[in-house]
Amino acid sequence: MAKTDETLTMLKELTDARAISGNEKEARDVMSKYITPYSDEVYTDNLGSLIAKKVGNENGPKIMVAGHLDEVGFMVTRIDDKGFVYFQTIGGWWSQVMLAQRVTILTSKGDVTGVIGSKPPHILPPEARKKPVEIKDMFVDIGASSKEEAAEFGVRPGDSIVPYFEFTQLKNEKLLLAKAWDNRIGCAIAIEVLKQLQGESHPNVVYGVGTVQEEVGLRGAKTSTNAIEPDIGFGVDVGIAGDTPGISDKDADSKLGEGPQIVLYDASMISHKGLRDFVLDTADKHDLPYQYTSMPGGGTDSGSIHLTANGVPALSITIATRYIHTHAAILHRDDFENTVKLIVEVIKGLDADTVKEITYS
């Protein structure tokens, strides 16, 4: 039971951390706290991505397992004369999930609570009521009466605005509800992989990475991969769940609890065939569940990893997650644990000869 509590505590601390793209310090500090005990060296690149190195065979290939630290949120752009705060989205948001949601503005004077507002429907013409409110017409109400009072609260342009939500175990305790699963679950996978490799021999050097600024263009993956120069790269992230009402199998057929998603294709990368086949063979050998997925409209850090230097064989492994890019998402604990098991077994098999065979397959 202690292991369960420890893992849940880690997942809660990771998701509760407030860290939008460009301001990832809180999440980086949490990841550093949990991954450092299982690492030989921990450092950051110049953009702020966390890199934790664990040596098996110091002359073996370098294997990168990367989740991203940042979550989608907003940034203060201006404050009007009445004290209402206007913002820029950071990462992709769908306007229908935003209104009336509680947010926290992180200021130099501390946290400021607000709520996203807009014109009430009661005063809109009938045609306008039928249309979603555009993001440009939204604002954050922090209870200030003027621009000066908002400044007294500490709010100023450039401040991060973060969705507010508390980590919650649902009645089915395998289902976990939280903000920022995209992509603190990837950071948790990197931590747990290094932890499970403790005391295990592995023929390589493993890098558990928490990248920055994934949601705005896979930016930290570029710099951290450049710093590491890996031979093999894995982007671990969330993926689309297709097990809620209104979604057909042709749209998305992955289900919570049925194993990690092996990404065949996304808008940022065609997965490396040799590496993909090796991962699938490893899963079959160890009787580990998995699902296939493709995402024509999105990408992961693998999109930057595989294009670094003269190329890195890379694969994205994701966890089916409901309601991503909102204040609250749901995933299944078994998928987290099976993803870790799969990556650990894959790493154990990635010796120099195997990596060479994969690269040129």
Residues recognised as catalytic: 214
Helix (H) or strand (E) holding 169: strand 168-169
Q: Token pair 């042709």 is at which residue?
A: 250
Tokens of 185: 């679950």
Query: Which residue, among 164, 162, 203, 143, has the nearest Cα to 348 in the 3D structure?
Result: 203
Q: Token pair 């060479």 is at which residue?
A: 356
CA 191 to chain centre: 13
Parallel/antiparallel/unpaired status of strands 62-68 and 232-240: parallel
H-assigned helices in the chain: 2-16, 25-35, 126-129, 147-153, 181-196, 219-228, 273-285, 302-305, 333-349, 352-359
Query: Which residue, among 67, 70, 71, has the nearest Cα to 186 in the 3D structure?
Result: 67
- Following DSSP, what letter does each residue of 44-95 receive, concatenated? E-TT--EEEEEESSTTS-EEEEEEE--B-EEEEEEE-TTS-EEEEEES---G
Helix (H) or strand (E) holding 25: helix 25-35
Interatomic CA distance for residues 341 and 193, integer angstroms: 8
Torsion 329-330-333-337 (CA) sign: negative
Is-contact 251 241, C-beta < 8 A? no
